[in-house]
Structure formats: C-alpha cells, structure tokens
C-alpha cells in the first residue's frame, strides 16, 4: 500500500489535482490517464453514494492516480466508510475546533494514533493485500502513514486555531477552502484583500512549522501558479465538468468562425 501523492509531496514535488464531480467510473478512469497527480471525489457537494465512490476509486487505481475523497461531514460513519472502501485520503469540510480535529483522528487513524474500527474491507484487499495479511500492528502503521487525513481550513474557528490544529498528531495536512473562508471572514471572494492574504501566509507558515503539507483550491491555472509561489505544496484546480464544457465550447467556437 503506497500513497503516490504522499510520496510526491514528501519528496518536495508540487502536485496538481482537480475536483471530480462527474460521478462516473469511466470518467474517473479517463482522469487517471491524464497528467494529474490526484483527483478529489466530492461527496460533500456531489450526489455520490458509497458504492459509486468505490467504483471511482477502483478506476483511479488502474492508472496509479491517488483518489482523495471529501467526505460529506465529520461524523464517524462518513469517515470510516470512505476509508474502508479504499480512499487514499480524506478531506474534511467545515471543522472549527481542536476538539473536532482530535475526534477526526480518533475516527480515521488506527491505534495508537486513534481508534479507527478494524475491518478488512476493500481498502485492505479483504485482508489479502500484503500490508494487511501480516502482523496487525504493521497493518495499523502502514494505514496510518499512507492514508491522509486533511481537515479543511474554511472557518474562522479553524483559522484562529490553525497553529494548534496543524500540530495535532494524526493530521497529515491542511486543505484551504478559499471561498468559504473568505465568506467566514466577511469578505466573500475578495482574495486580494490584505487580511485574506495575511490569512494565507499564516496558514502556510503554521502548517510548515508543524511539518505538514498544504493544499488549496484554485479556480484556474493562473491562480494555481500564484498559490504555489506563495508556498502551498499542492493545488486542486477547478472541477472536471467545467473542463468538459470549456473544451466543447472552444471546439464549437473554432468551427463556427
């Protein structure tokens, strides 16, 4: 069990992904054939059930592309289900406090970091994959290392506690949701405001000081390049459906000259 996204980030590589909203395993397989480092399956806003997400995870694995899942909420069942079916990592929306983060570690990480329920489900190859077939403590260690737990910083509570949240053992990185964070700050989408820029600097500094990584959502490649230059380790750029629409519109425009 190896998380290729984690390996790249730990090696200092800047990585690029996109949100996956189309909801079809064939499209997930097609995305895995691109040069993306990862896809982010969105069950917070997307209409996906557990079985459909499992099919998308299988499709991504065919071509060694890491598939992260943004869970619908921070409840134990939401976290556990996506890990059991083989998500390479979880993005957790709308967290506000250190106490919530500590609960998430309890749900998502095996002993001794947490109390994740033991089940040799699809993510463990039903107990037949090499990392799951031996000593249980070795299995726990591999899962804890390779399965990413990434809370989103998109609330004032998270921003105000980012230094302590980033230090929590079991948290692997922080994903910044700039749109919701700007709303929470009372400056919706005003990303050039000094206070928003200061928030970005604070997050990057705090997370790096804790030895963790940062990911941020970006609307386009121009924004992505800016964020990478600001010190973010990874960018999740746009969503697949927009790329389909834009590509088709560009083709039609080219024909109708």
Q: How far is CA 186 from CA 93, 105, 174, 246, in A?
A: 19, 30, 21, 31
Residue 29's CB is within 10 A of a number of other CB atoms, namely 18
> What 8-state DSSP symbol labels residue 127?
G
Residues in the chain, total: 257
Q: The dihedral of CA 94, 45, 22, 218: what is its sign?
A: negative
Q: List the catalytic residue out of 45, 63, 96, 131.
A: 45
What does the alpha-carbon distance between residue 256 and residue 169 come to, in Å, rounded to a whole number? 57
Q: For residue 45, indicate whether it is catalytic.
A: yes
Q: How far is CA 52 from CA 9, 23, 193, in A?
A: 28, 7, 40
Find out whether 70 and 93 touch, Cβ atoms under 8 Å. Answer: yes
* Nearest in space to 147 (alpha carbons), one of 130, 164, 170: 170
* Residues classed as catalytic: 45
């Amino acid at each position: 069990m190896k998380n290729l996204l984690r390996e790249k980030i730990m090696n200092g590589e800047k990585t690029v992904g996109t949100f996956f909203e189309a909801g079809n395993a064939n499209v997930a397989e097609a995305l895995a054939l691109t040069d993306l480092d990862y896809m982010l399956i969105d069950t917070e806003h997307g209409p996906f059930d557990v079985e459909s997400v499992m099919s998308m995870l299988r499709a991504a694995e065919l071509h060694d592309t890491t598939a992260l899942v943004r869970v619908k909420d921070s409840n134990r069942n939401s976290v556990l289900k996506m890990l059991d079916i083989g998500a390479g990592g979880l993005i957790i929306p709308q967290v506000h406090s250190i106490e919530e983060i500590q609960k998430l570690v309890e749900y998502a990480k095996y002993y001794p970091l947490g109390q994740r329920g033991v089940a040799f489900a699809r993510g463990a190859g039903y107990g037949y994959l090499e990392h799951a077939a031996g000593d249980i403590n070795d299995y726990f260690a591999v899962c804890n290392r390779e399965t990413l737990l990434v809370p989103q910083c998109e609330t004032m509570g998270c921003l105000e506690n980012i230094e302590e949240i980033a230090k929590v053992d079991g948290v692997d990185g922080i994903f910044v949701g700039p749109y919701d964070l700007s709303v929470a700050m009372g400056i919706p989408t005003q990303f050039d405001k000094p206070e928003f820029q200061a928030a970005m600097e604070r997050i990057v500094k705090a997370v790096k000081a804790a030895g963790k990584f940062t990911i941020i959502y970006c609307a386009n490649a121009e924004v992505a390049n800016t964020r990478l230059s600001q010190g973010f380790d990874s960018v999740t750029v746009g969503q697949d459906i927009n790329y389909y629409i834009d590509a088709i519109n560009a083709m039609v425009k080219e024909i109708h000259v």
